[in-house]
Homo-oligomer: A and B are copies of this chain.
Amino acid sequence: MKYHFYNANILSEGKILHGDVVVEDEKIIYVGKDIAVKADREIDVKGNVLMAGFVNAHVHTPMTLLRGVADDMELYSWLYDNIFPAEQKLTPEDVYWGEMLGIAEQVRAGITAFDENYFHFDAIIDAVKKSGIRCRLGLPGNFNSKSAKEMNEFLDLYISKLDNKLIKPAIYAHSIYTLTEEELSILVDYSAKHKLPVCMHLAETLKEVGDCTVKNECTPPEYLEKLGFLDRPSTLYHCVHLDKDDIKILADYNANVVTCPSSNLKLGSGIAPIYSMKEHGLNICIGTDGTASNNSLDMFKEMFLVATLNKATLYDASIISANEVLDMATKNGALALGFEGCGDIIEGNYADLILIDLNKPHHQPLNNIISNLVYSAKSSDVYFTMVNGKILYEDGKFNIGEDIEKIYENCQKITKRIL
């Protein structure tokens, strides 16, 4: 299948270029000035934006089922008293529908790839494969009383089920407060043996940092360093409470950090030191976290926050630019998640792209498109989402393998049962 997009404002390598993009099968084969080309479908972009889809670098997608449950309480009560008990009631089928709902929400909002951390892996794999979205799946999260041998077999089994193109594996250790040192070591060993990246929630709250300091006599990054966790390519979620030395450690190991500002604000966790991370050269990505702590999967909301929160805490509006934030929301995430050939509109890349409608009051007059994308745009401006050359959303219609009304209906039934 060949698509010819013309009359587009293309966001490519941090600049806006007016012209055409041609997609053939899975790939972008042309980016440039107007071109005459024979295509199966001609798409007049009408001066709107064509850009790479967003990479949501941290999400627990099936938590859509718990949207609006347990608001306005801090992370530990939220997690242990509300979220974990509700999650224990979820069946694999429930998770399948929650995943589908979250995929619908994400493609509607221009997200073309995400880093998934949840459970009931067969259900997640089914939904992701059926939908056609790009995903890195973190395994296993927690041990649930498995022995080292059982865990190795478990990981072997699930990793064999992934196709390694649209859906890739990572070794996911939930956090230093839910896993023992022995369990963490088993996962590090597995990741080293199988050349897989590792990922984890890190330094999300002051309590986590305080508890770690008491128990391990070091900060969370120092603890990970000691365990050899940082010797692996790593993606660390949240990283709200890092001091200068912590940031230096993460930079020394080329760790990827994922900031989730909405979730950190809503749970009262704090504001991550993005500017300092940036100045230390860390690869900063952006995630939404799950919808029980956000409560939506919207990278535009996150981009605005990443662009502005550190301005307010450091009283300096010049420390971070719209362009830097767009990179964090696209190519930085693709780099962290191991999706080579994603995250930008350049020839040879995979066709993970979105169209953004500018013909709306909040984009007018069109003085500065890049500024608008970060400071004015809304996820509802996305009207076309393509992943790997396949259209997953266009003008209100979803093409993700399940009917949208059926997804709503099933999710409503599930929450009526479990809440």
Chain A interfacial residues counted at CB < 8 A: 78
Q: Which residues of B contact A271 (CB under 8 A)?
A: 312-313
With CB as the reference atom, state the residue of chain B lying closest to A315: B268
State the oligomeric state as a number of copies: 2
Q: Does A364 contact B (CB under 8 A)?
A: yes
A88 is an interface residue with CB less than 8 A from chain B? no
User: Is A419 in the interface zone, CB < 8 Å from B?
Assistant: yes
Among the listed stretches A32-40, A245-253, A368-376, which one makes contact with chain B, having 4 or more residues with CB under 8 Å of it? A368-376
Q: Given contacts A105-B361, A311-B265, A365-B408, is CB(A318)–CB(B371) below 8 Å?
A: no
Instruction: For the complex, give the distance between the alpha carbons of A308 and B309 in Å.
Output: 12
Binding stretch for chain B, among A169-177, A348-356, A410-418: A410-418
Chain B residues contacting A160 (CB-CB under 8 Å) are none
User: Is A314 an interface residue, CB under 8 A from the partner?
Assistant: yes
- Minimum CB distance partner of A294 in chain B: B375
Q: Mark A257-273, 1 if CB is under 8 A from B, else 0.
A: 00000101111111100
Which residues of chain B are near A372, meaning CB under 8 Å?
Answer: 67-68, 295
Q: Which of A133-141, A178-186, A296-304 contacts B (4 or more CB under 8 A)?
A: A296-304
Could you tell me the distance in whole angstroms from the C-beta of A261 to the nearest C-beta in chain B?
9
B308 touches A262 (CB 8 A): yes
In the complex, the answer to whether A367 meets B415 with C-beta atoms within 8 Å is: yes
In the bound complex, do residue A365 and residue B415 qualify as a contact, i.e. CB atoms below 8 Å apart?
yes
B104 touches A67 (CB 8 A): no
The 24 sampled A-B contact pairs (Cβ below 8 Å) are A64-B361, A65-B365, A67-B372, A72-B317, A72-B322, A104-B361, A108-B360, A108-B361, A262-B308, A264-B312, A265-B305, A265-B309, A265-B312, A266-B375, A268-B311, A269-B315, A294-B375, A295-B371, A295-B375, A295-B376, A297-B362, A361-B404, A361-B408, A366-B412
> A365 to chain B: which residues have CB within 8 Å?
64-65, 67, 101, 408, 411-412, 414-415
Chain B, residue nearest A291 (CB): B376
**CA of A412 to CA of B367, assembled, Å:** 8
Is A83 an interface residue when CB atoms closer than 8 A count as contact? Answer: no
Q: Is A321 an interface residue (CB 8 A)?
A: yes
Given contacts A64-B361, A291-B376, 7 further A-B pairs with CB under 8 A are A67-B368, A68-B375, A74-B316, A101-B364, A295-B371, A295-B376, A365-B415
Residues of B within 8 A of A295 (CB): 371-372, 375-376
Counting CB contacts under 8 A, is A69 at the interface? yes
Most buried by B among A269, A305, A419: A305
Docked CA distance A318–B415 (Å) = 24
Chain B residue with Cβ nearest A364: B408
In the bound complex, how far is the Cα of B122 from the Cα of A278, in angstroms? 48
With A73-B317, A316-B268: A378-B376 Cβ-Cβ less than 8 Å: no
Q: How far is the CB of A68 from chain B (nearest CB, A)?
A: 3
Q: Is A147 an interface position by the 8 A CB rule?
A: no
Residues in B with CB closer than 8 Å to A308 are 262, 265-266
In the bound complex, do residue B268 and residue A367 qualify as a contact, i.e. CB atoms below 8 Å apart?
Answer: no
Question: Is A152 engaged at the interface, CB distance under 8 Å to the other chain?
Answer: no
Query: A389 → chain B, closest Cβ, in Å?
Result: 23
